[in-house]
Chains A and B, each alone.
Chain A
C-alpha cells in the first residue's frame, strides 16, 4: 500500500515542482514504485520538469470526468521503469477537481505503488485543499526568505487543521556561504520559527536551471549538490538514518585532491 505524500508551500516559486520531480525520481532510483500527480490544474509544470511534456494524451481532469481510465492518463517515465506521471489539465481551473475526487484517485493508485507524490499548487484555496485531501503525509517546501517562511507558517497551520499530522519541512535554495556571512536565515533560524521537523536542506545550485532546461531531474546527475540533497531526502523518506548535512560543491582544489586521492588508492 502506497504512502500518499503531498508537497506544498503556500508561496509560489519556492521549488514544489522541482522537489516533487526530484523526490519522485530519487525514490524510483531507489527501486520504489512511484507515481507523481500534478494537481496544479491550469498551470501544469511537473511534466516539463520531468521532461515528459510531449507524451501527454490524457490528464487528471479526463480521469475525474470519466473520459479515460486512470491507467491511460499515467505517463511512463523515459528512464526509470517504475516511475509514472499523471499530468494536470492545462485548459481548466482548480474547480474541475474536488477533494473527494483526489481521495478516490489516490485510493485506486495505492494498491499498485509504494509512493504517490502530489504536487500542490501555490496558495491556500481549492487547489491546496484538493492536493492535501488524499494525503497521509505533507511536506512543506520553503526558501530561507521572510515571505516564504511566513507563508509556510500559514500553510502549516492549515495542514494541522486538516488533521494530516505534523508536516515535515524541506528548506530549498539555502546558500551555506550567505548563511556563514550572516546574510541569510540559517537552518536553525527557520526551524526555530516554524517548529516542525526538518526533512532536508537543498542548497542553492545553478545545476537546477540547466537540468530543468533539459527536462532531466537533477538527481540523475548525482554530482551536483542539489541532486545529492534530494537523494538524501528520498533515503530519509524510506526510513534510512541519513545525517542532516548540506551538500556543497567541491572547490577546484577539493576536486583535485579527491581525484589524486582516488588515483593513489588504485595505484
Chain B
C-alpha cells in the first residue's frame, strides 16, 4: 500500500482539442445521443457504467449505500459536523481574512520548502532531537523499527497519525515483534476491529455503539455495555497501564515549527499528550509539508482548524513538544526522533497541484461532500477519503490505481468553500480527470464520447444543429405524456426515475423566435 515514486505527467491543455479535431462525427444521431448521454451523466454525475481499472470505488460505494449501520452513522455525523462548523465559524469575524492569511502563510513555506525544512531541522537538533529523512514509506518504517530495536522497545503507544496509516507503520512494528497500542479511542476501536479509519478526524465514525460493545467484550472480557460513557471509561482503564508502561510513544504532528524546532499535536482526549510525555522515547512521524514558519502562524492556523474540523472553538489539548527533557525534569522523553517523510509529497511541489500541500487535515471537505456523506470513507479505498483524498491518493499511489476517485465528485464546490486554507479542490480533481483522459486511462467509450462532445462544443453551428436534432428526438422519445422513462444504455438511471422530455425546440430557437416577435432581430 506504500506510495510509488514517479512523476506527474505534464498537462497538455491543447490535447483535448487536438483529439477532438481528429475525430469526425460520421453518424449524427449517434453523436447527438452520446452528447445527451454525457449531459445526463455529467449533470447528475451518475457513475458511468464502465468499470475503471484497479480500484473498485463504484462497487464499494454501491455496497456502502446499502449498509444500514453505515448509513445511520453517516446521517448522524453529517448534521453534527456541518452544523457544528457553521455555528463555530459564525463566531469569528474576519474568518475570510484569516483563511486568506492562512493560505498565504502555507504557500510561503511550500514555495521555499527546502529552506524551511533546513531551518526546522537545525532548531530541532539544537534542542536535542534527532531528525531523520525518509523518501518512501519503507524507509520511514525501517528508521522507526530501527530506533525501536536499538533501544530494546517492546511496547509502543501511538496517538492518531494519518501519516503512520499511510506508511502502515503498525504492521512494520508488529512484524518486528513489537506491541503497538493505538490510544485515540476511535483508532483503538479500529485496531480491535482490524479496520482502517474511514475519516481523518473521526476514524471510527462508521461504527455503531453495538459494534464497539462487541469488540470490547471480545478484547476486554468485561460485561457488555452499550452505554457510550461507560465504554469510554472502560477504554480509559484498559489503556491507562499501556500509557504508563510503554517504552516508546509515536505521534504524528499537526504542524512542525521552523522557528523553534517544535512538533505539535492537537487532540481532545489527552492521549497524544500522554504518548509524547510518558515514554522514554518520543518518535514523531510526519510529512515534509507540515512545516510552518512561526508560533504566530500556528496561532492563526489553530483558530481555523478545530472550528473547521469539529465545530469546536478550541481543541482540548495542544502540546508543542520541543526537544528532550532536561536532566532534572520529572517527565518527558530522553530521546526525541522526528521522521520527515516525502512518500510522494515532492511530486506536488512546484506542480500545478501544489495548492494541495497547504492542507491542514481538518476533514471539512469530506464532512461537506455529498459523495462522502453517502458512501463514507472506506469506499475511497485508501487512507485519505473525500475530496482531499481524491486529490492526494492519485498522487501518492498513482492515478492508474485510483482512477475513480477524481470522478467521485458532483463538483458542487462546497469543499473549496469550507476549506480553511482555500484549496481549490474541484479544480485539482478536474486536473486529475484531464490527466486520465490524456493518458488514455479512462475507458474507450468515455474518451470517444468526450472527443465527440469536444467536436460539437468547439463548433457553434454544429452544436446548434446537433442540439436541434437532439431536442426533437428526445421530444418524440418522450411520447404523449412528455416523460422519458427509458434510455437505451442508461437503464441504471431510468430504472429509478423518469426525465421530463424537452419541449422539442432548443433555447436558442425559442430565444430567436421571441426576439423576432418583439421586432428585434439582433441579440444585444
Q: Do A and B bind each other?
A: no
A residues apposed to B, CB below 8 Å: none
